[in-house]
């Protein structure tokens, strides 16, 4: 009787041999390759501006800040006349900023408002670099008088120094 060939064991040996050969080749291949690497980090700065109210000229006028950058001026029983309120803009970020806009909203009739000392486009250097702040003043001229209480807002917007749009 003819002996039956054990095909499976022969195939198994062939596969194991192939696997070993590939492993050896792999070691050889790995030994002759290497790499060079660029490892980089970008640490971004930040823009951060603090608006602070300053001293006002009398009890008829007060100034406060509505976050983040809106100056709120309130007049109480103010007869016709000129009133002022100071404010400070401080750059607490790491990048210089410019004042992009100064607008006014809710100014009552019979009242004229102007912002002195600062203007759109003024640059404030980054924290720690002189001058990292600017001081301004709101001048309010009351023509008709503000019998009860009236208030208006002056929102400021800031932008990193090189993104200012004229």
Partner 1 sequence: MKRILLICLALVLALGTLGVAGALWSDWLYIDGYVETGYIGAEWSVDYFFDNEDKDFSYIDAYGAGTDVLWIDIYNAYPSVTYTVGWNIECTGSVPIHFDSPWFWGDLPATTDFTFVAFNAAGEPVDLYGYQLHPGEIVYGELTIHLSNDAAQDYWYYFYIDLEYGQYNEFP
Stretch that binds partner 1, among 3-11, 35-43, 59-67, 84-92 (CB under 8 A): 35-43
Pick the piece of the chain touching partner 1 (CB under 8 A) from 94-102, 107-115, 131-139, 141-149: 94-102
Looking at beta carbons only, is 48 or 153 nearer to partner 1?
Answer: 48
CB of 32 to partner 1, least distance (A): 5
Burial class from Cβ neighbours inside 10 Å (0-12, 13-18, 19+) for residue 52 reads: middle
Distance CA 23, CA 53 (A): 75
> Is residue 44 at the binding interface for partner 1, with CB under 8 A as the rule?
yes
Under rule CB under 8 A, residue 37 binds partner 1: yes
Residue in 6, 8, 97 with CA at minimum distance from that of residue 49: 97
Task: Considering only CA atoms, give the Rg of the chain.
Answer: 36
How far apart are the C-alpha atoms of 158 and 97, rounded to whole Å? 6
Query: Interface with partner 1 by CB under 8 A: which residues?
Result: 29, 32-47, 94-96, 126, 160-163
């Amino acid at each position: 009787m003819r002996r039956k060939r054990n095909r499976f064991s022969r195939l198994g040996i062939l596969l194991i041999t192939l696997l070993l050969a590939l492993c050896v080749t792999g070691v050889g291949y790995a030994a002759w390759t290497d790499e060079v690497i660029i490892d980089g980090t970008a640490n971004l700065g930040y823009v951060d501006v603090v608006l602070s109210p300053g001293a006002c000229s009398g009890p008829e006028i007060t100034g406060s800040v509505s976050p983040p950058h809106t100056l709120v001026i309130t007049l109480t029983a103010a007869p016709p006349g000129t009133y002022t309120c100071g404010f400070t803009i401080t750059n607490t970020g790491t990048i210089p900023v410019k004042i992009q806009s100064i607008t006014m909203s809710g100014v009552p009739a019979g009242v004229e408002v102007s912002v002195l000392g600062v203007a759109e486009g003024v640059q404030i250097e980054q924290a720690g670099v002189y001058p990292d702040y600017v001081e301004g003043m709101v001048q309010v001229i009351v023509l008709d008088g503000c019998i009860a209480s009236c208030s208006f807002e002056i929102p400021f917007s800031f932008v990193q120094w090189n993104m200012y749009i004229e």
